[in-house]
Structure 1
Amino acid sequence: MTIITNQFKFRLPIKELIARDKVFGFMQPQQHPLIDTRHNILLYLEGVNKTFDGFKAIDDFNLYIKEGELRCIIGPNGAGKTTMMDIITGKTRPDSGQVWLGSRLNLLTMTEAQIANAGVGRKFQKPTVIGCLSVWHNLELAMAGPRSVWATFRAKLTGEQKDKLASILTLIQLHDHANIAAGNLSHGQKQWLEIGMLLMQNPKLLLVDEPVAGMTHQEMDRTAELLIGLAGKHSVVVVEHDMDFVRSIDSQVTVMHQGHVLAEGTMSKIQQHPQVIDVYLGGS
């Protein structure tokens, strides 16, 4: 099998691809026909509870994410952040409560695959790119729709698909690395590639787990810029421990503690909350 990695050609000028005031049709999330966000809320979690062997990981948890919102979730280890994401994506079923995507899609009645196909994308802390394949082919494999490795290498991309790949490469700042093996990227670049792979699935909601762990300060700044740029076109929920990074995003913050919401608000407001200072921030 011969893998052709000839340099791709942009079908649109780069100036247009990175224009902040224009969103092309192929970059727009393809909304599931049953997603109803007429109330401007994309994700609802209400009265959610989950216990593991007597330990209450999630305790009467409520969370509402607006359409196009960028939200940061912080909290100490064991606060329930990972369990919360597992419940949203269908990996874990709660003991009680409700989880809805829009006002018509009940995520608790859907499988993990159905939830992903409905527009929920999740990025885990450790990048899971395919190191032996090029950046371009990683994105191509992640493209929405049924695509096997063999079918991908045999098929020819349409002009629109090539445009989308090119636009994502520009967005994640890897357009100069399209033909480089993903395994040769820096840690930060691998994280951006995985975010790009999620974007190829046209998600409405992105769950991003500790995206800047192990990054340099420059990579952290670029990651903040990328996530801020995604808001509006997507709803983005970021779970993070790095407070400097959370401050740089400057978005609404939810603080979790012992499975429930301890506080919500801007980072400046959260930093002055006595209970948050006591259980998480300390003197920082």
Structure 2
Amino acid sequence: MSENYGQRGLWRRDRVWSFLEPRAREVDVSRNVILYIEGVTVNFDGFKALNDLNLYINDGELRCLIGANGAGKTTLMDVITGKTQCNQGSVYFGQTINLLEHSEPEIARLGIGRKFQKPTVFEVHTVYENLELSLKTYKGVWYTLSAKLSMEEMDYIDEVLNIIGLEKHRYQVAGALSHGEKQWLEIGMLLAAEPRLLLIDEPVAGMTPQETERTAELLTSLAGDHTVVVVEHDMEFVRSIARTVTVLHQGSVLAEGSMEAIQNNPDVIEVYLGDQP
């Protein structure tokens, strides 16, 4: 044992005061469904942002949500993550976890990560530090000041850097990254928290064609180990990643299926796609 192991080992994130760690709840996906949204209605001063909406997301799938502005996409994300309370309906994470009984921080700890359209990284910190700050660990004040990364955590950060393609930028401050790289870093920050479900809002807005292609590869690679729900307006991007597409309209599900089926659905063509090629 090295001379300084006692101090280093004492303050390892996986060794300090484990009784303070929030106990992780297992997500029951025995029926292969990780998200159940049933009869959800959200009423804002008489306007139904969501209207008796039913949606089921399978464990490990990549699902695309599309719809015109005001269709209810953002409100749906807000309900899932606890930011907005619904007037009626139920939202379950797996078979047993009622998300409507949990706060935003609790829902994040349960394993649901959300990425907004505008990247929210810590620009004065390095890429590596951003990922370190996002690790799924207890973050009390004394603990944060004293803890050292374990070998397992360092290996995991390296793994995330490889997944998001920012290995060569690990010591670069996040503020110096390109727009696309910041988006990938934020996805990496979600991965560092070890989520089961990722909610990704308009990931390719403002990206170059090369960055868009790389983002498609990244999100596709995450499906399976994670469940990924992508909200996007760029139909070419949706075509490149779509397995199952859900179309929202006036707060409800208008249609659902493969991209080919959606493109040929008369109702979707009338209210959303129009004459898009």
Task: Give the TM-score taking structure 2 as reference length.
Answer: 0.89
Contact 1:89–1:115 (Cα < 8 Å) also in 2? yes
Unaligned runs of 5+ in 2: 1-22
1:6-25 equivalences in 2 (<5 Å): none
RMSD: 1.4
Contact 1:70–1:228 (Cα < 8 Å) also in 2? yes
Q: Find the counterpart in structure 1 of residue 148 from structure 2.
A: 156
Contact 2:63–2:246 (Cα < 8 Å) also in 1? yes
Which of 101, 106, 109 pairs up with 1:114? 106
Q: Does 1:137 align with 2:129?
A: yes
Which of 83, 86, 100 pairs up with 2:78? 86
How far residue 154 of structure 1 moved from its aligned partner, in angstroms, is: 4.9
For residues 180 and 143 of structure 2, the distance between their equivalents in structure 1, rounded to whole angstroms, comes to 30
Q: Secondary structure at the match of 2:43?
A: strand
How far residue 222 of structure 1 moved from its aligned partner, in angstroms, is: 0.6
Q: Does 1:73 align with 2:68?
A: no
How far residue 157 of structure 1 moved from its aligned partner, in angstroms, is: 1.0
1:1-284 equivalences in 2 (<5 Å): 32-147=24-139, 152=144, 154-284=146-276
For residues 144 and 178 of structure 2, the distance between their equivalents in structure 1, rounded to whole angstroms, comes to 26
> What letter matches 2:25 in structure 1?
P
For residues 149 and 232 of structure 1, the distance between their equivalents in structure 2, rounded to whole angstroms, comes to 35
Structure 1 residues 104 and 91 mapped into 2: Cα distance closer, same or farther (>3 Å)?
same
Contact 2:135–2:192 (Cα < 8 Å) also in 1? yes
Q: Find the counterpart in structure 2 of residue 5 from structure 1.
A: none
Q: Secondary structure at the match of 2:113?
A: strand
> What letter matches 1:206 in structure 2?
L
How far residue 279 of structure 1 moved from its aligned partner, in angstroms, is: 1.0
Q: Secondary structure at the match of 1:196?
A: helix
Deviations 1:85-142 (A, max 9, x none): 0000011111000100001000011111111110010000000001110000000001
Q: Larger deviation: 69-78 or 107-116?
A: 107-116
How far residue 151 of structure 1 moved from its aligned partner, in angstroms, is: 5.5
Q: Secondary structure at the match of 1:43?
A: strand
How far residue 152 of structure 1 moved from its aligned partner, in angstroms, is: 4.8
Q: Larger deviation: 67-76 or 107-116?
A: 107-116
Contact 1:43–1:65 (Cα < 8 Å) also in 2? yes
Contact 1:141–1:148 (Cα < 8 Å) also in 2? no
For residues 92 and 65 of structure 2, the distance between their equivalents in structure 1, rounded to whole angstroms, comes to 19
Unaligned runs of 5+ in 1: 1-30
Identity of aligned residues (%): 59
Q: Secondary structure at the match of 1:207?
A: strand
Task: Give the TM-score taking structure 1 as reference length.
Answer: 0.87
Q: Secondary structure at the match of 1:194?
A: helix
> What letter matches 1:184 in structure 2?
A
How far residue 219 of structure 1 moved from its aligned partner, in angstroms, is: 0.4
For residues 85 and 179 of structure 1, the distance between their equivalents in structure 2, rounded to whole angstroms, comes to 33
